Amino acid sequence: MYEPNAIVVLPDGTQLTDSGARREMLTGLIAGGSGMPGVPRKVLIADDIALTATSHEIPSGATGDQATTVETAEISRRQADGSWRVVIDAPAFS
């Protein structure tokens, strides 16, 4: 999903640059079972770079209160094989 030198910027400003830290963050989301359905908001592509934005609703119980909506932003790069990998991931970009 991520390029080797990708960065994930968490809501508190923490920057995850290590692949192990990114894996741990994603594993925690999956293990939490929050099931964050996403609705694509924007996709902008210029050559081999893409900017995407998605709205995710986090169901009640996952945050302890009511359902909340989170806006994300990602910058991805097209790989030589045509696939896309994330370079910058801001999972709570607002």
pTM of the model: 0.79
Predicted confidence (pLDDT) per residue in 21-49, tens digit: 999 988 877 776 656 678 889 999 999 99
67-85 per-position pLDDT tens digit: 778 889 999 999 999 999 9
CATH of the domain at 57: 3.10.450.50
DSSP state of 91: T
Distances 60 to 12, 24, 47, 74, 94 between C-alpha atoms, Å: 21, 23, 39, 25, 20
Structural domains counted in the chain:
1
pLDDT of the residue at 73: 94
| Structural domain boundaries, residue 31 | 2-90
